[in-house]
């Protein structure tokens, strides 16, 4: 599979910084797919991080079945403006220093009131490490795709 060009990689990093929400797809115990919108942050390796209650449906699902899919895209009304990411990978809970680094990124990106502090402390940070990524960008041409496997 072809790799991303340095221009595409820079475009994806810039895109991830200005978007706020990913749609995370997980599978429950009986095989039913579920999806959840989540605020996220990313790092230089294109890993994605989010906070969730360990009791939320998607957290329970990914604890048992960590292979997940996600998509990130802005809302548009013109087909030429369609662009975004499709991602497949493995999601796991993170702790300690890695959690603190993710939390710092999260607080830098999102303005959260201090009333959320207790809820953040009770939440788990999760990390999605992609093993496949597709960048779509109809502004390049209709149906433009760039894919990479990690």
CATH value at residue 42: 2.30.110.10
Q: Is residue 21 part of a domain?
A: yes
pTM above 0.85, yes or no: yes
Segments forming the whole domain that contains residue 107: 17-75+83-130
Q: Is residue 141 part of a domain?
A: no
* Total domain count, the chain: 1
Q: Is residue 109 part of a domain?
A: yes
Percentage of the chain surpassing pLDDT 90? 91
Q: Is residue 147 part of a domain?
A: no
pLDDT, tens digit, 9 for 90 and up, residues 47-79: 999 999 999 999 999 999 999 999 999 999 999
Q: How many CA atoms, within 13 angstroms, populate the side-chain half-sphere of residue 94? A: 19
Band of residue 2 on the pLDDT scale cut at 50, 70, 90: low
- Tell me the CA end-to-end span of the chain in Å, nearest whole number: 10
Q: How many CB atoms lie within 10 A of CB 90?
A: 13
Q: 49 with 127: CB under 8 angstroms?
A: yes
Q: Is residue 3 part of a domain?
A: no
- Rounded distance, CA 33 to CA 140, Å? 32
Beta bridge partners of 86: 71, 134
Q: Is residue 1 part of a domain?
A: no
pLDDT of 1 above 90: no
């Amino acid at each position: 599979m072809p790799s991303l060009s340095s221009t595409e990689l820079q475009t994806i990093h810039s895109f991830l910084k200005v978007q706020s929400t990913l749609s995370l797809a997980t599978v429950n115990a009986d095989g039913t797919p579920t999806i959840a919108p989540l605020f996220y942050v990313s790092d230089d390796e294109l890993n994605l991080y989010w906070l969730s209650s360990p009791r939320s449906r998607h957290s329970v699902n990914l604890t048992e079945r960590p292979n997940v899919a996600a998509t990130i895209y802005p809302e548009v009304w013109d087909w030429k403006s369609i662009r975004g990411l499709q991602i497949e990978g493995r999601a796991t809970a993170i702790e300690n220093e890695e959690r603190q680094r993710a939390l710092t990124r999260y607080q830098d990106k999102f303005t959260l009131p201090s009333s959320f502090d207790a809820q953040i402390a009770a939440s788990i940070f999760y990390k999605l490490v992609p093993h496949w990524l597709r960048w779509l960008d109809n502004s390049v041409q209709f149906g433009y795709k760039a894919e990479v496997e990690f």
